[in-house]
Chains A and B, each alone.
Chain A
């Protein structure tokens, strides 16, 4: 168990959560639910999370399969330096982003999924202690 690289899974989860947030947001805004502006927020947050998590991080050992076209996004993500490299920052960021989406029914699943991804990033940090 100790050899498992959780970071890769957390990355996949965060990417999937971003997509779920976008879908939920579209359903909410299109259906004109009450408080539909949460839906609009959810779309924006989802796009941001997707772009941030698109580049797949390098594995500790072994070869990493890059996602198609990820080098363009990597250049942008690298600009923010330590803010994006650090897992602690990512975990907290995902947790904060997921909270507003929890108020609306259509996006509540996006909240749950992003919170789980944030939990896995925190697990990595706890494991490293």
Chain B
């Protein structure tokens, strides 16, 4: 917005300086130039949140020590969407203004300043102007591309048919190429010989209609109330002297500013994509595939030089399943110095995951838990891209963290728990409240082993209050109390029904007075909203709850 206002101000002064007294157009030009400058800024900024590897690097590097700055990175998708909406609105303004300009260029064709005109002759059909000039044609194509991209980017389409959104959004590259051509038309010009042909000068070769007598000219145009300091109108006209034009005005096209704006981010984004492509070109080696209850599959794999922090996610690409689709999954186990294996847990929900499961676990052996060794030679090729950052990485940097998981949303926290199992001392975290809400009791078996091992480890190290586990079964179905004798520690922490969040928050606030508690939630939107609201409420113990929001589509 600021860039539009300042540009509008400077454009108005430039317009009055450079355009002759018989002006071709005023408002249309101002609006189109102002909206163009807003578009310049937004088209350059919109690419930056999409450089996900760069953002993941910034999140983890020591150069960003402040938590507040890291939290800004959580909002990168929202920023991208805001820039997109702004581009949409100001493109509308820009197009409308230029349509009016096109008409004015043809109707008010000025013979005196042929170079300044976009039209080639008076009353040229504005539609011809639109389709036969480079800026016009590229402009129309850009509007069509933008139309396709925006209609496919609405929330309803993203949630229901992500493919349409993804394939159309890749047209952005065409949009940028067209934009580069659009500004190269050289339509906007500035005068190069202002000293020999200043604005408002009188040409001695003009016809009588232009040659108004000087005193009349000045008295007509300067008959306004004078500011203080001027004594008489007569004195004023005496100080003004006549300027005579030495030569005809010469114009030269402005250097396209847009190239300067978009070249930086575009190069950065292309470099990032190239880096990601090179990095993901080598396939991973699948070590084991396990089937878990409630339609969940675990894959463990290794890859050379793969490093990831707990809470990050990767995207899987399996050409045997689908040549073009990439799907993101949070890492449930990160590679450490001693063990290079990392893993993901996938829930089988759509056609891609179904086909993937059928390739890895042939239907005959889907009931057994671990695949026989003989099948490992037939695994399809799997490529991964990442790791990319997420807000959940921050949970290890709070002194006290509250992690709430809904169903399969436990995956980011599983990697955190695995890391704590490995070694908890290097991190700032001293107390973790882990709440897991599920519908089906069998779901808890995904990580029951991990939770028990963690619980036992902290009991052994005499830090029983480090991890506080609470499991909730939201759908009561009767016989669901027992999940196995060896999970005794979990059985005593299993509750039936939904958690009572207000009481929980009060309890956490009471036992952690004056501290800042990081709240993390990975689950359905309603759960996220409830926790966000509760985190922002004040409590009497002086405890601050900071809600860290993750956005999924």
Binding site for B on A (CB under 8 A): 1, 3-6, 8-9, 12-13, 16-17, 20, 23-24, 27, 31, 33, 56, 59, 62, 64-65, 105-106, 108-109, 112-113, 116
Contacts and interface: CB of A to CB of B under 8 A. Distances in A.
Given A13-B148, A116-B144, 20 more contacts: A3-B351, A5-B160, A6-B164, A8-B156, A9-B161, A12-B157, A16-B150, A16-B151, A23-B96, A27-B96, A27-B100, A62-B160, A64-B160, A65-B159, A105-B127, A112-B140, A112-B144, A112-B147, A116-B147, A116-B148
Given A23-B92, A31-B100, A105-B103, A5 B161 contact: yes
Nearest to B123: A34
Interface string B278-319: 000000000000000000000000000000000000000000
Majority SS at the chain B contact face: helix
Interface string B431-444: 00000000000000
Contacts of B163: 1, 4
B19 interface: no
A7 B100 CA distance: 35
A124 B130 CA distance: 32
A82 B152 CA distance: 27
A67 to B, nearest CB: 8
B161 A105 contact: no
Interface in B137-176: 140, 143-144, 147-148, 150-152, 154-157, 159-161, 163-164
A9 B159 CA distance: 12
B47 interface: no
Closest 7 CB pairs of A and B: A12-B151, A13-B151, A105-B126, A65-B156, A106-B99, A27-B96, A16-B151
A69 to B, nearest CB: 15
B333 to A, nearest CB: 32
A119 to B, nearest CB: 11
A96 to B, nearest CB: 20
Interface band, chain B: 20 to 34
A108 B160 contact: no
Interface centre among A8, A17, A31, A109 (most CB of B within 10 A): A109
A9 B151 contact: yes
Contacts of A112: 140, 143-144, 147
B351 A109 contact: no
Contacts of A9: 151-152, 157, 161, 164
A126 to B, nearest CB: 17
A77 B284 CA distance: 54
Given A12-B154, A33-B103, A106-B99, A4 B147 contact: no
B403 interface: no
A17 B152 CA distance: 13
Interface in B85-111: 92, 95-96, 99-100, 102-103
Contacts of B156: 8, 12, 56, 65
Interface in B162-200: 163-164
Interface centre among A3, A33, A105 (most CB of B within 10 A): A105
B127 A16 contact: no
B161 A8 contact: yes
Contacts of A12: 151-152, 154, 156-157
B130 A108 contact: yes
Given A23-B92, A27-B96, A109 B151 contact: no
A4 B99 CA distance: 36
Contacts of B164: 4, 6, 9
Given A9-B151, A12-B154, A12-B156, A109 B103 contact: no
A56 B103 CA distance: 38
A33 B150 CA distance: 29
B99 A27 contact: yes
A109 B140 contact: yes
Contacts of B154: 12
26 contacts: A8-B160, A8-B161, A12-B152, A12-B154, A12-B156, A13-B147, A13-B151, A16-B151, A23-B96, A27-B100, A31-B100, A31-B103, A33-B103, A65-B155, A65-B159, A105-B126, A105-B130, A108-B130, A109-B95, A109-B140, A112-B143, A112-B147, A113-B144, A113-B147, A116-B144, A116-B148
